Amino acid sequence: MKRREFITKAGITSAVGLTAAVALSGCDQGEKDKKEVKAPTVQKSKKTITIVSTWPRDFPGLGTSAQRLAKRITELSQGALTTEYFAAGEKVGAFDVFDEVASGNSTAYIAADYYWVGKHPGFAYFTSVPFGMTMVEWNAWIKFNGGQQLWDKISGEFGLKALTCGGTGTQAGGWFNKEINSSDDLKGLKMRIPGLGGKVMSKLGASTVSLPGGQIYENLVSGAIDATEWVGPYNDYFLKFYEAAKYYYTGGMHEPGGGLAFAFNATFWGSLTNWEKAIIEAAAMEENAAQFEECVANNGKYLAKLVNDHGVQMRALSDDTWDSFGKAAAEVFEETRDHSALAKEIDTAFQKNLREIGGFMANFETTFLNQRNRVLGLV
């Protein structure tokens, strides 16, 4: 048989065979012994991500969100990236996670980066600052207007790579064991409040401390502190602050956004493939939206529980108190800018975006919300 004739016949035979196979497949799908042809899978070497967190295990909101993110990475990677998650105190203390990851002892932490203002005040801008951006505004800055690049810059100085992985929205002004009628009532007050918000309160005469979530209740009950801020009704409810403080102040000046960090050891991050990085980024982005939405969905019902079931008295701070906060915050920002060239660069970019993004939101969304709430009697 000539070579060309052989090839032609072989090609016809192959085509007929393929056609027949397809036809049989369509006719005999019910046969139990019929095997499906699956696309080949690419074997990937497994890597383990050791995550340490500042949140208590199974704590509704913050804790469950962090655990959900850890699980989701393994799901999306189909087991190529496995995670081991340690809540606050299980591997290291809540406020030790930064050094734990920067040193390479663990792979990543989940926390609020304003806990690290003692290392660099610029970290505060990557959680929230007084009179700062709402969650929506902050995400816009981080994702589209250069915020992530500045976060990379400051984190890189400490051997870290940070991603946003959640947010709690505008936080409560705090829990107080007495009414706050003016800024004079803050003098001598012992309050748990971290970040630049704590510096504002200190300028108004309060004595401030930064405590991890798991230690706030005992300090409030014992009288070691007179007041605390934490998150909002959904998260606050489960720490039972209402047992020690009955005055609950609405929207605080200190934390209008509350963005959270999923920060990796930079060397480990650099060792990941583009595919592995994409999986982690996708999981973090998913949880970034989910946690904020979960807080929005639950804050109203838990506020009602606090007021109706536990006798909590809801209050709003006076305009005079807000004005005092504003003056003190201006001083804090000036001091922050004086810290270093990087702190100045971050604050400059943040304030510029706050005015551009916030200005639009004020003219459109806030106008709508104010009128909607007025017409519907929501406030």
Residues 6+ apart with CB under 8 A from 151: 126, 142, 162
Question: What is the extent of the structural domain holding 111?
Answer: 47-167+257-296
One-letter amino acid for residue 308 of the chain: N
Distance CA 295, CA 299 (A): 6
What's the pLDDT score for residue 189? 97
270 within a domain of the structure (yes/no): yes
226 within a domain of the structure (yes/no): no
CATH number at 84 reads 3.40.190.170
140 within a domain of the structure (yes/no): yes
208 within a domain of the structure (yes/no): no
108-111 vs 259-265, strand pairing mode: antiparallel
Distance CA 197, CA 213 (A): 17
283 within a domain of the structure (yes/no): yes
Structure tokens at 349: 């970019």
Whether the Cβ atoms of residue 204 and residue 183 lie closer than 8 Å to each other: yes
- Which CA distances in Å does 12 have to 22, 183, 298, 338, 358? 15, 90, 66, 80, 69
What's the pLDDT score for residue 156? 98
Beta strands in the chain (DSSP E): 47-53, 81-86, 108-111, 160-167, 172-176, 190-192, 207-209, 227-228, 247-251, 259-265, 313-315
Task: Count up the domains in the chain and report the number.
Answer: 1
Distance CA 136, CA 121 (A): 22
How many CB atoms lie under 10 A from the CB of residue 104? 12
Question: In this predicted model, what pLDDT tens digit does every residue of 88-123 receive, in sequence order?
Answer: 999 999 999 999 999 999 999 999 999 999 999 999
Whether the Cβ atoms of residue 211 and residue 151 lie closer than 8 Å to each other: no
90 within a domain of the structure (yes/no): yes
110 within a domain of the structure (yes/no): yes
303 within a domain of the structure (yes/no): no
What's the pLDDT score for residue 44? 56
Structure-token match 């003190």, residue found: 328
What's the pLDDT score for residue 22? 34
What's the pLDDT score for residue 31? 41
What's the pLDDT score for residue 29? 41
Best CA proximity match to 229, nearest among 196, 204, 184: 196
Q: For residue 258, what is the DSSP state? A: -
What's the pLDDT score for residue 43? 47
Best CA proximity match to 136, nearest among 376, 354, 374, 378: 354
pTM of the model: 0.88
Residue 182, classed as helix, strand or coil, is: coil
Whether the Cβ atoms of residue 122 and residue 250 lie closer than 8 Å to each other: no
Question: In this predicted model, what pLDDT tens digit does every residue of 206-227 receive, in sequence order?
Answer: 999 999 999 999 999 999 999 9
State which residues of the chain have pLDDT below 70: 1-45
What's the pLDDT score for residue 379? 84
What's the pLDDT score for residue 202? 98
